[in-house]
């Protein structure tokens, strides 16, 4: 009988270490580097294993996306939000594939750009009120892509697995002809904001029988009320939070570069603004698709898009997304792939935990 002692293989298993790393991230309040997570009691390995996770873990984005979609209810139309954000890497000159990205800046004389890596996100917004946004895909925008092309690809990947036709909410960066031309075959409805300096066109008049048929009709300039014609529908109502609102709709309009994509143009105006508040600018929206919500619902439907912005803030402040200074784009992507998983873990476990407020965070 062989009496030699048996030794257990203690080599790192990427899947086990990945789950422990996520547990450490979720339970660590403050962190200054990636190695800090190895000090968590939930991470039972050496600090170097944190970096090995980013070398060896390979989560399948397509399988995870389908798993996320299976958690969505099928009895209602899903509401999706699309946006992109910046992982700023100003002090990483050797990091490959850094690009110039849009970065909101509160200083008026500075350009709103920075250097780093952009990430595009398409998320399910499960609640009519609240800040939950559950990402279905969260991926890096490479130097040979742009936010519109990346968002279009993500929308196509998600929509082919959905059972119901979704409503997709987008900011003004996507409100243009290029985005509509790339999504004409997508089975989805789009509600997006457009900038106030845009021009739209009505349907062309009937063909007169001579020359080339016209593509565009009368032009409407959003920032010149003198070019507006009478709206197809106008309503006024009282909102509990925003006060008196007026919403107008013009139908059968299109961008100059996408004459075949008909849109409904919506203007939302606040008629009564409190003296303590800044002047409210009108909000221009367009609806592209089928069965548009009523005008009294359209604004609140669009305001759900800001849940994606809340998730970006939560991602950077609480999930420590931008803390690590990783050396390769591949490591950055593997670390970023963990962010949607942790968000879904929190969402699925929301009924199992009680909220714990700090003493100074209690509300009366």
Instruction: List pLDDT tens digits, range 28-75.
Output: 989 998 989 999 999 988 888 888 888 888 889 999 999 999 999 998
Residues contacting residue 297 through CB under 8 Å, at least 6 positions apart: none
Looking at residue 279, its pLDDT comes to: 66
Strands (E), the chain: 79-88, 99-102, 113-124, 134-141, 167-170, 189-193, 199-202, 219-221, 233-239, 243-254, 263-270, 283-288
Query: Average pLDDT for residues 189-193, to the nearest whole number?
Result: 97
Task: Tokens for 256, please give them.
Answer: 């100059």
Convert the pLDDT of each residue in 260-269 to its tens digit: 899 999 999 9
Cα torsion angle, 75, 76, 77, 80, sign = negative
Q: What is the pLDDT of residue 8?
A: 33
Asked whether residue 9 carries a pLDDT value surpassing 70, the answer given is: no
Q: How many CB atoms lie within 10 A of CB 9?
A: 5
Over the stretch 219-257, which tens digit does the pLDDT of each residue have?
999 999 999 999 999 999 998 888 899 999 999 999 999
Residue 185 has pLDDT above 90, yes or no: yes
156 has pLDDT over 90 = yes
Give the pLDDT band of residue 278 (cuts 50, 70, 90). Answer: low
Q: Given a cut of 50, is residue 217 above it in pLDDT?
A: yes
In this predicted structure, what is the pLDDT of residue 190?
A: 97
Look at residue 7 in the predicted model and tell me its pLDDT.
31
Is 122 in a helix, a strand, or coil? strand
CA–CA separation, 187 and 205 (whole Å): 29
Q: What is the pLDDT of residue 2?
A: 47
Stretch 163-175: mean pLDDT:
95
Average pLDDT over residues 309-332: 94
Mean pLDDT of the chain: 89
For 94-133, the pLDDT digits (tens) are 999 998 888 776 556 677 888 999 999 999 999 998 899 9
């Amino acid at each position: 009988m062989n009496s030699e002692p048996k030794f257990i293989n203690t080599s790192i298993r990427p899947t086990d270490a990945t789950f422990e790393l996520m547990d450490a991230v979720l339970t660590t309040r403050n962190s200054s580097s990636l190695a800090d997570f190895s000090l968590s009691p939930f991470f039972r390995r050496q600090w170097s294993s944190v970096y090995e996770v980013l070398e060896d873990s390979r989560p399948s984005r397509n399988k995870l996306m389908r798993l996320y979609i299976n958690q969505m209810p099928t009895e209602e139309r899903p509401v999706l939000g699309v946006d992109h954000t910046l992982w700023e890497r100003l002090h990483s000159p050797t990091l490959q594939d850094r690009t110039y990205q849009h970065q909101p800046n509160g200083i008026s004389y500075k350009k709103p750009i920075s250097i780093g890596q952009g990430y595009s996100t398409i998320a399910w917004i499960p609640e009519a009120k609240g800040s939950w946004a559950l990402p279905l895909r969260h991926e890096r925008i490479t130097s040979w892509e742009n936010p519109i092309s990346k968002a279009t690809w993500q929308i196509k990947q998600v929509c082919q697995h959905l059972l119901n036709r979704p409503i997709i909410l987008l900011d003004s960066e996507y409100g243009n002809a290029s985005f509509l031309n790339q999504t004409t075959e997508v089975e989805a409805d789009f509600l997006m904001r457009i900038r106030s300096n845009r021009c739209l066109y009505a349907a062309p008049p009937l063909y007169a029988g001579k020359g080339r048929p016209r593509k565009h009709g009368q032009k409407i300039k959003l920032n010149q009320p003198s070019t507006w014609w009478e709206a197809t529908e106008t309503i006024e109502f009282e909102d509990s939070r925003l006060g008196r609102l007026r919403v107008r709709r013009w139908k059968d309009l299109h961008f100059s570069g996408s004459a075949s994509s008909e849109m409904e143009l919506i203007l939302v105006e606040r008629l009564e603004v409190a003296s303590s508040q800044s002047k409210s600018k009108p909000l221009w929206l367009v609806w592209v698709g089928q069965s548009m919500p009523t005008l009294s619902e359209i604004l609140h439907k669009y305001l759900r898009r800001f849940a994606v912005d809340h998730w970006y803030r939560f991602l950077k402040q609480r999930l420590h997304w931008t803390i690590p200074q990783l050396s390769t784009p591949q490591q950055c992507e593997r670390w970023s792939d963990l962010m949607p998983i942790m968000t879904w873990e929190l969402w699925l476990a929301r009924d199992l935990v009680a909220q714990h407020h700090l003493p100074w965070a209690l509300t009366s």
